[in-house]
Amino acid sequence: MTAPAIHVQQLGKQYRLGTAAPLTRTLGEAAHALLRRWVHAAPSRHAPAAREPFWALRDLDLSIAPGEVVGLIGRNGAGKSTLLKILARVVYPTTGRALIRGRVGSLLEVGTGFHPELTGRENIFLNGALLGLRRAEIRARFDEIVAFAELERFLDTPVKRYSSGMYVRLAFAVAAHLEPEILIVDEVLAVGDAAFQRKCLGRMGEVAGHGRTVLFVSHNMTAVRNLCARAVWLDAGRLVRDGEPAAVIQAYLGRHADADARPEMDLRDWPIRRGTGEARLLRARLLDAGGRVCGRFTRLGPLTLELEFESRTRDELNLSAAITTTDDGLKVLQLAHQDSPGFVPGVVFGRRKVRVEVDRLPLQCGTYHWNLCLHTAALDPLDVVQDVLRFTVEDDLARSPRPFRSTREHGLCSLPAVWRYVHAEEPAYAVQ
Question: Residue 309 has what pLDDT?
Answer: 93
Statement: residue 283 has pLDDT above 90: yes
* C-beta of residue 360 within 8 angstroms of C-beta of residue 413: no
Q: What are phi and psi of 32, to 5 degrees?
A: -60, -45
- Torsion sign, CA atoms 273, 276, 277, 281: negative
Statement: residue 390 has pLDDT above 90: no
Round to whole Å and give the CA distance between 292 and 270: 23
Residues in the chain: 432
Bridge partners (DSSP) of residue 324 are 331, 369
| Number of Cβ atoms within 10 Å of the Cβ of 44 | 9
Round to whole Å and give the CA distance between 104 and 165: 23
pLDDT single digits (tens) 206-231: 777 777 888 888 777 777 877 788 99
Mean pLDDT of 2-20: 80
Mean pLDDT of 170-195: 71
Bridge partners (DSSP) of residue 274 are 384
Q: Read off the pLDDT band of 112 (50, 70, 90).
A: low
Question: Residue 260 has what pLDDT?
Answer: 45
Beta 279-287 vs 238-243: how paired, if at all?
A: unpaired
* C-beta of residue 186 within 8 angstroms of C-beta of residue 107: yes
DSSP state of 61: E
Round to whole Å and give the CA distance between 253 and 389: 12
Round to whole Å and give the CA distance between 194 and 322: 15
E strand or H helix that includes residue 259: helix 257-261
E strand or H helix that includes residue 17: strand 6-17
Mean pLDDT of 174-194: 70
Statement: residue 410 has pLDDT above 70: yes
Beta 331-336 vs 381-394: how paired, if at all?
A: unpaired
pLDDT single digits (tens) 135-163: 888 888 888 888 888 888 888 888 888 87
C-alpha dihedral, 118 to 121 to 122 to 127, nearest 10°? 110
R_g of the chain, CA atoms, integer Å:
26
Round to whole Å and give the CA distance between 14 and 307: 39
The DSSP secondary structure of 342-381, one letter per residue, reads T----S--EEEEEEEEESS--BPSEEEEEEEEEEETT--E
Mean pLDDT of 263-287: 88
Highest mean pLDDT among 326-335, 347-356, 395-404, 408-417: 347-356
DSSP state of 431: -
E strand or H helix that includes residue 58: strand 52-64
Statement: residue 239 has pLDDT above 50: yes
- Say what the pTM is: 0.57
Round to whole Å and give the CA distance between 291 and 27: 61
Name residue 338's amino acid: Q
Nearest residue to 326 (alpha-carbon basis) of 264, 263, 370: 370
Mean pLDDT of 91-110: 80
Round to whole Å and give the CA distance between 124 and 172: 11
Mean pLDDT of 67-86: 85
Round to whole Å and give the CA distance between 101 and 87: 11
Mean pLDDT of 271-296: 89
E strand or H helix that includes residue 320: strand 317-325
Question: Residue 49 has what pLDDT?
Answer: 53
Between 428 and 79, name the one with better pLDDT: 79
Instruction: Give the SS3 label for residue 399.
Output: coil
Mean pLDDT of 417-422: 82
Instruction: Give the SS3 label for residue 122.
Output: helix
- Spell out the domains of the chain, with CATH numbers in brackets: 6-19+53-253 (3.40.50.300), 263-397 (2.70.50.60)
Statement: residue 258 has pLDDT above 50: no
pLDDT single digits (tens) 299-346: 888 999 999 999 988 888 989 999 988 766 788 889 988 888 888 888
Q: What is the 3-state secondary structure (H, E, C) of 70-115?
A: EEEECCCCCCHHHHHHHHCCCCCCCEEEEEECCCEEEECCCCCCCC
Mean pLDDT of 11-31: 65
Statement: residue 404 has pLDDT above 90: no
| Number of Cβ atoms within 10 Å of the Cβ of 114 | 22
Question: Residue 24 has what pLDDT?
Answer: 45
Question: Residue 51 has what pLDDT?
Answer: 62
Nearest residue to 219 (alpha-carbon basis) of 388, 30, 23, 33: 388
Which of 177-181, 265-269, 344-348 is predicted with the least confidence, judged by mean pLDDT? 177-181
Q: Read off the pLDDT band of 418 (50, 70, 90).
A: confident
Round to whole Å and give the CA distance between 252 and 241: 9
What integer best gives the mean pLDDT of the chain? 79
Round to whole Å and give the CA distance between 188 and 165: 10
Mean pLDDT of 371-378: 90
Statement: residue 4 has pLDDT above 90: no
Instruction: Give the SS3 label for residue 138.
Output: helix
